[in-house]
Amino acid sequence: MAVRRQELCAELQISESTVRRMELEGLPFLLVGKRGKRYDLDEVKAWMREQRRECQSGPIKTVVSMSALWSMASACTKSAQQVRRRVMPSKSG
């Protein structure tokens, strides 16, 4: 079933600028007249699956636990302290 850009946007819940950007990346469409375009909804969905565009905001990121964040921060602090010890001149009296 061929749909217009606005109908495609409504069906996929994406903006027109996203559709234009996807066209540049190879989104399949049919030319109608000089400037008109139609999109086969099934072809577009198949193309999006191939491109891994299931989520409009991008791939879903894994949430890092707070304990993992604290351990990374602790390691960073420890590393910075070691560097500081090497850089600071020793106090000799």
Domain-by-domain residue ranges, the chain? 2-50
In this predicted structure, the answer to whether residue 87 has a pLDDT above a threshold of 50 is: yes
63-72 contact pairs (CB < 8 A, 24+):
none
Query: Among the listed ranges 16-20, 27-31, 66-70, 83-87, which one has the minimum average pLDDT value?
Result: 83-87
38-59 burial, b at 16+ Cβ within 10 Å, e below that, comes to: ebbeeebeebbeeeebeeeeee
The answer to whether 9 and 16 have CB atoms below 8 angstroms apart is yes
For the segment 5-59, what is each residue's pLDDT rounded down to a tens digit? 999 999 999 999 999 999 999 999 999 998 899 999 999 999 988 887 544 555 5
What local confidence, expressed as pLDDT, does residue 93 receive? 54
Residue 14, beta-bridge partner list: none
Residue 40: CA atoms inside 13 Å, Cβ hemisphere, count? 8
Give CA–CA dist 75/73, Å, rounded.
Answer: 5
pLDDT at 85 over 70: no
Q: What was the pLDDT predicted at 60?
A: 47
- Choose between 23 and 86: higher pLDDT: 23
Residue 64: band (very low, low, confident or very high) from pLDDT cuts 50, 70, 90: low
